[in-house]
Copies of this chain bind each other. A is one copy, B any other.
């Protein structure tokens, strides 16, 4: 069993760290709001630390699951960040969805500390985190991946090495781009069906057997039709992810007209009060009076 640190006990990190502890590892947690860390320790054992550096001290593996690039820099390379305390050969695994640039930057910074960095964003949402069935897309050195994979597997159904530093984040971006198209198309389809006076459930049941089928159709069409948008992944977070995609595309030259448009649509959903609605709320924009 290993000595593990986990930084960031949000809706994702809290249960992910819990799965690592349940596998028998010795886990020290850090969270900005300390009360949450105390609650975690009461539930899963281990200990909590007052700073990321204190949490990382002596750890073989240090995980982070925070908000964005700046939050990540705050817990790694800032004063009291984990990087100053990493022991030689330690592996830092970042589960945040953030930019490929910050992944490459921290990969180099970890090397300078004699340690390793893996960018390892996840998909599968809150339910996947709670059930330990996330998909983890990992970028970084192959040997660090091989060492970290069994610990990452504590909370994952699939852990895949996608390539060098940044490749995990880039893979997550592809995921979000595909989702943007599926959800907007599904929203227009259901909205059209409503306007046409069709039985939406019967329509979806019929077309979901063929070329229009998608996970979103199977899991979100009923609630989209009903105008319920409380299924986890929030519009604010999706806009953060689409901004990362659009920034990266400015650098690599990819054309993303649909992603750019859907990002603007989400800005309208935010203005409608939907910052915390889930991504399927694109239909609310079509249906607004």
Contacts and interface: CB of A to CB of B under 8 A. Distances in A.
Interface in A218-252: 219, 233, 245, 248-249, 252
For this chain, the copies found in one complex come to: 2
A147 interface: no
Contacts of A174: 189-190, 192-193, 196, 198, 203, 207, 212
Q: Which of A174, A191, A216, A233 has the most CB atoms of chain B within a 10 A radius of its CB?
A: A174
Interface residues of A, number: 71
Given A163-B199, A178-B189, A255-B286, 18 more contacts: A135-B210, A160-B202, A162-B202, A174-B193, A174-B196, A174-B212, A175-B211, A177-B192, A179-B185, A180-B185, A181-B183, A181-B186, A182-B214, A192-B245, A192-B252, A195-B252, A214-B214, A258-B258
A206 interface: yes
Given A195-B252, A207-B123, A256-B192, A217 B178 contact: yes
A188 B177 contact: yes
A199 B135 contact: no
A261 B261 contact: yes
B177 A196 contact: no
A173 B160 contact: no
A175 B210 contact: yes
A216 B211 contact: yes
B192 A207 contact: no
B185 A181 contact: yes
A257 interface: yes
A93 interface: no
Contact of A188 (B135, B196, B254): B254
Contacts of A189: 174-175, 177-178, 181
B178 A185 contact: yes
A188 B192 contact: no
Contacts of A154: none
